Amino acid sequence: MNKKKQTEADDVSVEQKLQALFTLQQINSQIDKIKIVRGELPLEVQDLEDEIAGLETRAANFEQEVADLNETINARKAAIKESESMIAKYKEQQMKVRNNREFDSLTKELDYQTLEIQLSEKKINDARFKIENLETEIANTKEQLKERNIDLKAKKAELTDIVKDTENEEEALAKRSLENEKYIEDRLLTAYKRIRENARNGLAVVQVERDACGGCFNKIPPQHQLDIRMHKKIIVCDYCGRILVDKDVADTVHEQFK
């Protein structure tokens, strides 16, 4: 805690600290409501951005695969030309052989080059079939991308409108929240924030209503209620750990929000 805040926190009474805590709770509850108004939009925007990034990567991978397959086709076409050239060469040599051994040897080379051509043609057909399927996948992926980008644009516009409508109010509340924190020592402020994080509804400071905790609704013993009304020390609920304030503190704070 810095010295200025230490001095300010030490100079206030327990009642003032309770008022500062309850005020802080009211402010934070209003900020929570603003975030509820925004709802799941920020998460939906993030999810759409992640999905779009995934689809873009998928399309890029498909396109790279098509490019690789086209290289394979070109390489196989070159191999076919080479084999055809070799076949023409061997056929010409067959016309000039001097014995059966040379003829058989050239025949084997011709058969080998013919098989090489057949293999290359099969590889080319396989690659073309894969390319056809990949191009279908690319088209489908790009269509999904188009739809998701339209969705993202709409969600972002909706979120921007909501943020624009609430950002000034939220900034003012955040500033007011920091102002109130000056009157609460760090130990108490840390406890408040911890309780808020653990509470499902974000309520760390609650009013005693009908002899019960305003957070968990368990009955509060009469002696504890008396201590709460005395404003001599900070009292927490024995059941849920929330900080408790009486009607006087709550009414004083509520007047500030009218």
* Domains in the chain, CATH or no CATH each: 3-38+185-256 (no CATH), 41-165 (1.10.287.1490)
Q: First and final CA of the chain: distance in angstroms?
A: 32
**DSSP-assigned beta bridge partners for residue 245:** 207
Q: How many residues does the chain have?
A: 258
**DSSP-assigned beta bridge partners for residue 213:** 208
Cα(5)–Cα(184) distance, integer angstroms: 8
Place of tokens 């900080």: 243
- Is the predicted pLDDT of residue 3 greater than 50, yes or no? no
Provide the 3-class DSSP secondary structure of residue 220: coil
Q: Where are the beta strands (DSSP E) in 79-193?
A: none
pLDDT, averaged across the chain: 90
pLDDT digits (tens, 9 = 90+) for 217-247: 999 999 999 999 999 999 999 999 999 999 9
pLDDT digits (tens, 9 = 90+) for 49-92: 999 999 999 999 999 999 999 999 999 999 999 999 999 999 99
**Tokens encoding 11:** 């100079």
